[in-house]
Structure 1
Amino acid sequence: MMLQISAQPLLKSPLSVVLPFSKSIANRMIIMRYLSGSALPLKLSESNDTHILEQLLQSIPVQQGMGIYNAEDAGTVFRFMAAVLAITPGKHVLTGTTRMLNRPIKPLVDALCSLNANINYLKKQGYPPLLIQGRKLTGYQVKLDASLSSQFGSALMMIAPGLENGLVIELLGKVVSMPYLKLTATLMHMQGQDVEIKDNIISVAPGSLSFNHPISEGDWSSASFWFGLAALVPGKEIIFENLNQDSPQGDRCLLKLFEPLGVISTWQSKHLHIIKKHSGVSHFEADFTDCPDLLPAIAVSCAGMGISASLKGISTLRLKESDRVAAICDNLNRLGFKAINNEHELKLLPVQNKTDRSKLIINAFGDHRIAMAFALLGAQNRTIIIDTPGVVEKSYPQFWQHLEQAGVFLKEIQSL
């Protein structure tokens, strides 16, 4: 079933949005709670990724013989589970979807094996699935290639307090998504764990794996699509009810990122209000090394506004649920925009006399953020059809419901 999206004459304004809980926070909280042995309740993200992680952890005690754990398409889940299973006695097979089997895991495996972990590749070297023989890890220093994913580092950080001597992690290469490593450190600090990040060195002291301060808050990454809607539909006010002004989430940087597109934000009584107050720049530039999940909404917003853009720091976007750079370029070019997929840059060029290609089917490439980003164009006087709307379950299950409440017309269709 596909989903047709189109604007109605009047979108609701002001619009109040309650975002899903941050899955970045929820997934880290779940791992820390599990490692501590705590039964403290958590307010969990509604995302499918979080449900998968909970189910896999709950299945560890009841696995008979060799445990088989399927992380499906959840990269965070796979990486966090790899570290947990490495210290969990028994034989474990960790696998996932076809796309997951093509996402590199070597930096994390190399780091764990240097600490005496017993991990073997079952198919292609450097990629899932993994055969893990859990046992006690030794050593207290490790080098980690941090150029592909910050989740490798976060996985090591969270198991580190349980190691006899703690752990010192030296980050090698160009470090990507550093705010997510800092998020992990902040959440560990909240649980009373001793963590320090200084330049490219992360130090985690040994100690008890305590868990006594669960937190949950709205997801800043998911807010990016509403910022995009504000950028494309001037004059519409959007109010977020559950974002934290002092959030440790790195994607909070979207407040500044969307300002050049004319979207102004203000805090009023602990609620965030956004509205487009000026036309914005004619050319947009940004580096997404620290915030890759924000690029889809920014890229589609720039295209919809008809401005040129130079979007850099895109290397990790090629290793997500899809090759997001290729997916964005493919869909924008088929819609009549001009997107260029360079090795280190996604470039957007303004198009004069663009051909109207409304009712074109958007290929989401099985990627939740691609589906949600391109849905924004449906609120801007064109009709968009998403081929697989169900992919939003991964991070934002209520997205279509919230978009409909905003006044966007949605219709399920079989085919054109």
Structure 2
Amino acid sequence: MNLVLHTNHKNLEGQIAVTGSKSETNRLLLLKALFPNITLANTSNSDDSEVMQKALIGKDEIVDIHHAGTAMRFLTAYFAVNEGREVVMTGSSRMQERPIKILVEALAQLGVEISYEKEVGYPPIRIKGKKVSASKVTLAANVSSQYISALLLVASKLENGLELTLEGEITSIPYINMTLALLKDLEIQTSFEGNVIKVYPKETVASKEMVVESDWSSASYFFSLVALADQASITLSSYKKDSLQGDSALVGIYEKMGVETTFEGNKMTLKKQPNFKHETVNLELNNTPDIAQTIVVTCLGLGIGCHLTGLHTLKIKETDRLEALRIELTKLGATISVTNDSLTLVASENINHNIKIATYNDHRMAMAFAPLALKVPIIIEDAEVVSKSYPDFWNDLKALKFEVSEL
């Protein structure tokens, strides 16, 4: 499905209820599988969370998680410690190109038996679940935080808990802290001192309802819309000022791009600052790489330059996001260069009209480019890819008076 986006309404006003955080939901789904007496509210309706839920309650030997990277990592750890269960974890052709070796080797340190069905280091993998008594693992600190969180989520069910030593500079700390905060909410004892994280064993937890905060990555597209509108006031729910999600850094980042954020109850209102003086945006996004696509597209729409660093994990996402951004922004007339971990956009007032944006099976490519419709008509290819994290996205754009039509 290719969608044409444009709008004659440059003044945006509305209220949007954003689906629960995919990151938080998937962590809590796994914790619920380990501790069935907890209940969950405001869970994500994303494809990734539905795949995760299905895999956790299913009994099949073959577990196919399609494009869901979080599910691949979290479930690898879950099935590894699920004594007596044998599964083959597989996914889409892109998933079979995404590395899993670091996590497999970490689990091997705990004595878990995992083998590769095809290429060494990549899914599909065969996992033979066992009772784990070993408790010490060492891992490179600059890897995807999902590997680290996968181990932490199952750690309390290990006979002797887990002592995880991270070697080098730690990236994506907010996502590690999110995992530890959820464990703390369940009164599972943890510590994070220097480069060592400990999780203590716990047989059972008290019955409790866990309410998932809405997704900050999904909110990023509304920050972009407000920045690019002539005037705007958009209220989003349900959000916390002191969020666990790393992408809540959006508030400070977009303040530098003329967006003012206020909180009241569980609602967050974004307002365009009139007559804002824009400057080149320089950001280190080590802790929040998922919002890089949104930010660079906003800068293009504002006619300002940016230099973004700390993006090394983007190369192993749904697509090589840095290369995808370079190709699509160039089609729009941008001058952009990328390295292995950075991106530089040169300021320019010109944006080409009616360009077809390829989405590379990547939900964030589709949504990050959509706000440009405030500046020029734009075509999003394979637009249904947004269902991975935000199935209601196109309907929410229509609620803001965007014209969204199939090509």
TM-score for the superposition, normalised by structure 2: 0.96
Instruction: Kindly report which structure 2 residues correspond to 1:313-392, keeping only aligned pairs within 5 A, or say none.
Output: 313-351=310-348, 354=350, 357-380=352-375, 382-392=376-386
SS in 2 for 1:357: coil
**What letter matches 1:8 in structure 2?**
N
What is the CA-CA distance between 1:280 and the residue it aligns to?
4.1
In the alignment, the residues of structure 2 paired with residue 183 and residue 53 of structure 1 have an alpha-carbon distance, to the nearest angstrom, of 18
Deviation sequence 1:283-318 (CA, Å, 0-9, x none)? 100011101111111010011111111000010011
In the alignment, the residues of structure 1 paired with residue 139 and residue 208 of structure 2 have an alpha-carbon distance, to the nearest angstrom, of 29
Specify which of 210, 213, 216 is matched with residue 220 of structure 1.
216
Specify which of 96, 100, 109 is matched with residue 104 of structure 2.
109
> Which residue number in structure 2 is paired with residue 52 of structure 1?
51
Residue 31, structure 1, aligned to residue 30, structure 2: yes
Contact 2:3–2:379, Cα closer than 8 Å, also in 1? yes
> Which residue number in structure 2 is paired with residue 121 of structure 1?
116
> Which residue number in structure 2 is paired with residue 273 of structure 1?
269
In the alignment, the residues of structure 2 paired with residue 249 and residue 123 of structure 1 have an alpha-carbon distance, to the nearest angstrom, of 35
In the alignment, the residues of structure 2 paired with residue 364 and residue 372 of structure 1 have an alpha-carbon distance, to the nearest angstrom, of 9
In the alignment, the residues of structure 1 paired with residue 211 and residue 183 of structure 2 have an alpha-carbon distance, to the nearest angstrom, of 12
Residue 408, structure 1, aligned to residue 402, structure 2: yes
Instruction: Kindly report which structure 2 residues correspond to 1:14-413, keeping only aligned pairs within 5 A, or say none.
Output: 15-38=14-37, 40-60=39-59, 63=60, 67-88=61-82, 89-210=84-205, 212-277=208-273, 278-351=275-348, 354=350, 357-380=352-375, 382-413=376-407
> Which residue number in structure 1 is paired with residue 8 of structure 2?
8
Q: Which moved more, 1:133-142 or 1:362-371?
A: 133-142
Deviation sequence 1:263-287 (CA, Å, 0-9, x none)? 1112235421111214343210001
**What letter matches 2:34 in structure 1?**
L
SS in 1 for 2:25: helix
Question: Could you say if the C-alpha distance between residues 260 and 307 of structure 1 is closer, same or farther in structure 2, counting changes exceeding 3 Å?
Answer: same
Deviation sequence 1:35-74 (CA, Å, 0-9, x none)? 11336354321111000000011113xx3xxx11011111
Contact 1:306–1:351, Cα closer than 8 Å, also in 2? yes
SS in 1 for 2:336: strand
Q: Which moved more, 1:395-404 or 1:136-145?
A: 136-145
Contact 2:161–2:199, Cα closer than 8 Å, also in 1? yes
Question: Could you say if the C-alpha distance between residues 208 and 115 of structure 1 is closer, same or farther in structure 2, counting changes exceeding 3 Å?
Answer: same
What is the CA-CA distance between 1:338 and the residue it aligns to?
1.1
Cα RMSD (Å) of the superposition? 1.5
In the alignment, the residues of structure 1 paired with residue 167 and residue 391 of structure 2 have an alpha-carbon distance, to the nearest angstrom, of 36
Deviation sequence 1:166-202 (CA, Å, 0-9, x none)? 1000112332211001000000100110011122211
Contact 1:146–1:171, Cα closer than 8 Å, also in 2? yes
SS in 2 for 1:299: helix
**What letter matches 2:126 in structure 1?**
L
SS in 2 for 1:361: strand
Percent identical pairs in the alignment equals: 34
In the alignment, the residues of structure 1 paired with residue 217 and residue 285 of structure 2 have an alpha-carbon distance, to the nearest angstrom, of 13
**What letter matches 1:395 in structure 2?**
S
Contact 2:45–2:390, Cα closer than 8 Å, also in 1? yes
SS in 1 for 2:131: coil
In the alignment, the residues of structure 2 paired with residue 357 and residue 218 of structure 1 have an alpha-carbon distance, to the nearest angstrom, of 34
In the alignment, the residues of structure 1 paired with residue 146 and residue 266 of structure 2 have an alpha-carbon distance, to the nearest angstrom, of 30
In the alignment, the residues of structure 1 paired with residue 256 and residue 39 of structure 2 have an alpha-carbon distance, to the nearest angstrom, of 43
In the alignment, the residues of structure 1 paired with residue 39 and residue 263 of structure 2 have an alpha-carbon distance, to the nearest angstrom, of 32
Deviation sequence 1:305-349 (CA, Å, 0-9, x none)? 111110000100111111111111111101101111122310000
Contact 1:79–1:151, Cα closer than 8 Å, also in 2? yes
Contact 1:146–1:173, Cα closer than 8 Å, also in 2? yes
Contact 2:12–2:231, Cα closer than 8 Å, also in 1? no
SS in 1 for 2:178: helix
In the alignment, the residues of structure 2 paired with residue 10 and residue 313 of structure 1 have an alpha-carbon distance, to the nearest angstrom, of 33
What is the CA-CA distance between 1:144 and the residue it aligns to?
1.3
Contact 1:5–1:375, Cα closer than 8 Å, also in 2? yes
- Name structure 1 gaps, 5 residues minimum: none
What is the CA-CA distance between 1:206 and the residue it aligns to?
1.1
- Name structure 2 gaps, 5 residues minimum: none
Question: Could you say if the C-alpha distance between residues 232 and 10 of structure 1 is closer, same or farther in structure 2, counting changes exceeding 3 Å?
Answer: closer
In the alignment, the residues of structure 1 paired with residue 79 and residue 111 of structure 2 have an alpha-carbon distance, to the nearest angstrom, of 13
In the alignment, the residues of structure 2 paired with residue 141 and residue 364 of structure 1 have an alpha-carbon distance, to the nearest angstrom, of 41
In the alignment, the residues of structure 2 paired with residue 184 and residue 116 of structure 1 have an alpha-carbon distance, to the nearest angstrom, of 23
How many residues in Structure 1 have an aligned counterpart in Structure 2?
404
TM-score for the superposition, normalised by structure 1: 0.94
In the alignment, the residues of structure 2 paired with residue 181 and residue 39 of structure 1 have an alpha-carbon distance, to the nearest angstrom, of 21
